[in-house]
Amino acid sequence: MKEKIHPGYQEVNVHCSCGTTWKTKSTMSELRLEICSQCHPFFTGKAKLIDTAGRLERFQKRYAKTPAKPTPAKKAPAPAEA
């Protein structure tokens, strides 16, 4: 590797907009995040499905009532005449 061309790798503080801070290593001097695992809805369990105009209910109704379609049986090949 060439010398003096790689950025420094130092310990930095990470700051989230929710107020959570922690230390990690990075080539940047400081990291500021908008969202982290402490405040993200997916990780906190507060995620909600956003239903627009009843689409979710219509989907559930349509596929809850629909019986499974039987698969058509394949025909056996006709015996070859000699």
* pLDDT at residue number 27: 93
Enumerate residues 6+ apart whose C-beta is below 8 A from 32: 14, 15, 16, 17
Please list the pLDDT of the chain residue by residue as tens digits (82 residues). Answer: 788 898 899 999 999 888 889 999 999 989 998 888 778 766 666 666 565 677 778 888 888 876 666 667 677 677 777 5
Q: Please report, in angstroms and rounded to a whole number, the separation of the first and last CA atoms in the chain.
A: 76
Does 63 reside within a domain?
no
Domain region containing 19 = 7-46
pLDDT for 43? 63
This model's pTM is above 0.85 = no
Q: 19 lies in a domain?
A: yes
CA distance 54 to 67: 22
* Number of separate domains in the chain: 1
pLDDT in tens, 21-35: 999 999 998 999 888
Identify whether 64 is part of a domain. no
